[in-house]
Structure 1
Amino acid sequence: MVLDLILIGVAITLGPLHNTAFILLLSSPKGVRKGLAFILAWLACLVVLIAAVVLLTGGRPPIHQSAPSTAALAVKLALGLGMVLYGERKRRRGSSPRQSPKWMARLDHLSLWTAAGLGVLLQPWGAVAAGAATVVQAHVSSLASYLALMGYCLLATSSLLVMEIYATFRPAAAQTSLAKLRAWIDGHQDQTIVSLSLALGLWLVGKSIYQLVG
């Protein structure tokens, strides 16, 4: 479980879309406050989802090859296949000139509540759902298991936390550095999406098939 959650957490935190939006939030008026609202909503969403899964399963994984166990693995397999197909389709289409979504131009005027809403909407829900399906198979009964789940949530939020802390304590330097980071993300967004989709998708597919037939 831990390795799966680490890989999923890394894929989530490296997602280019929410990182670009977050950089724009930080550069807007009251950007640090908006960034904090974004992060709190993002974290709350992850924590609530994980907590719901643990409550549903009672912290105990379903019996191997039972209907709930097979269903959880089938969900992970379907999500993995979806990521692979999406990544491969995007790879074949290649990079193309594109403009930022129009809503990004309005980030300067967002309220704190709207910034928090973006923290929920911009999560890569395919990877988040894969994380939830992984937790279904977790045996949550010790401090170490709870720490692993907390670590997953923090890992999935780590890029946002680093930028938020940087912008809070080094605002002038952060403005320049984050502008360069945004330019890099814009220039490599398609490649990043393809790499993350294929890598995580293939892992989920392989692991799910192995567990289904094992």
Structure 2
Amino acid sequence: MIQLIELVPLALVIAVNPMPIMAVLLMLSTRGGVTRSVGFAAGWLLGVAFATTTFSYLSSFIPMGYDREPLVVIRVLPIVVGGALVAAGLFTWRRRSAAAERPKWTAGLDRLSVARSAGIAFAFATIKPKNVALTAAAGVIILDGHPPLITIVLLLVIFTLVASSTLIMPVLLHRFGSTRMRAFLDSARRWLTRAMPTITSSALVLLGSIVTVAGIMRW
């Protein structure tokens, strides 16, 4: 289904955001961090689900064109979003040499309560401009053609799980994995701090290109 081809790259762009991944990995490295990281991952998942569901509902009010065909704006949106992601990736790549060390906002992560961790993640997932744009585009794509309710729910679940997978997996690996796996997660945290700009720019260019091509295929 063409919707999945467009939705999965959008979800992956959200998933590879280094900031929340770093937050979870840092929490896991602190005393009592597993509980906080669970709260953070749950808040992120709920935030993505809430934003995508909201935009899906709002997009249901977009009128159909003649002959029940989607309006041109719906067909153009994936191409515009994909192009914007590629441009953002190239811009990030050019500025990669100016990468910071560990972000200052991570300093107090070890003192957060579970509820506060969940609240911060929820707000980050729903308010961050890039996430707003991506979940809005996903909502429009999901409701494109006004599919059956079961299809809408399935697409929402897939999008939310993929977008949250990079936060859920480290928590599960740390909780149920071996000591070697925990050491790997700690190494991944240090590597992520150094390689954040390169990861972000490469992911944006690659996934933006996929979204753009999928949008062009609609025509």
In the superposition, the TM-score normalised over structure 1's length comes to 0.81
When residues 83 and 57 of structure 1 are mapped into structure 2, their CA distance, relative to the original with a 3 A threshold, is closer
Counterpart of 2:82?
80
Counterpart of 1:26?
28
When residues 93 and 72 of structure 1 are mapped into structure 2, their CA distance, relative to the original with a 3 A threshold, is same
Q: What is the CA-CA distance between 1:23 and the residue it aligns to?
A: 0.5
When residues 35 and 171 of structure 1 are mapped into structure 2, their CA distance, relative to the original with a 3 A threshold, is farther
Q: Pick one of 173, 178, 188 that aligns with 1:166.
A: 173
Q: Pick one of 125, 140, 157 that aligns with 1:133.
A: 140
- Percent identity between the aligned chains? 23
**Aligned partners of 1:157 and 1:102: how far apart in 2?**
23
Counterpart of 1:176?
183
Counterpart of 1:10?
12
Q: Pick one of 98, 101, 104 that aligns with 1:99.
A: 101
Counterpart of 2:161?
154
When residues 176 and 145 of structure 1 are mapped into structure 2, their CA distance, relative to the original with a 3 A threshold, is same
Gaps of 5+ in 1: none
Counterpart of 1:35?
37
Paired AA for residue 190 in structure 1: P
Counterpart of 1:48?
50
Paired AA for residue 32 in structure 2: K
Contact 2:6 2:214 in 1 (8 A): no
Counterpart of 1:114?
116
Counterpart of 1:192?
199
When residues 52 and 93 of structure 1 are mapped into structure 2, their CA distance, relative to the original with a 3 A threshold, is closer
Superposed CA deviations along residues 44-68 of structure 1, whole A, max 9, x for unmatched, are 1222233324434559994479897
When residues 77 and 120 of structure 1 are mapped into structure 2, their CA distance, relative to the original with a 3 A threshold, is farther
When residues 70 and 111 of structure 1 are mapped into structure 2, their CA distance, relative to the original with a 3 A threshold, is farther
Superposed CA deviations along residues 143-187 of structure 1, whole A, max 9, x for unmatched, are 455323312211111122211112222474443121111122223
**Aligned partners of 2:174 and 2:61: how far apart in 1?**
38
**Aligned partners of 2:182 and 2:62: how far apart in 1?**
46
Secondary structure of 2:166's counterpart equals helix
Q: Pick one of 204, 209, 212 that aligns with 1:202.
A: 209
Contact 1:54 1:140 in 2 (8 A): no
C-alpha RMSD of matched pairs (Å): 3.1
Paired AA for residue 153 in structure 1: T
Contact 1:140 1:146 in 2 (8 A): no
When residues 97 and 49 of structure 1 are mapped into structure 2, their CA distance, relative to the original with a 3 A threshold, is closer
Q: What is the CA-CA distance between 1:115 and the residue it aligns to?
A: 0.9
Gaps of 5+ in 2: none
In the superposition, the TM-score normalised over structure 2's length comes to 0.79
Paired AA for residue 41 in structure 2: I
Paired AA for residue 197 in structure 1: L
> Between Structure 1 and Structure 2, how many residues are aligned?
212
Superposed CA deviations along residues 27-47 of structure 1, whole A, max 9, x for unmatched, are 223212111211221111222
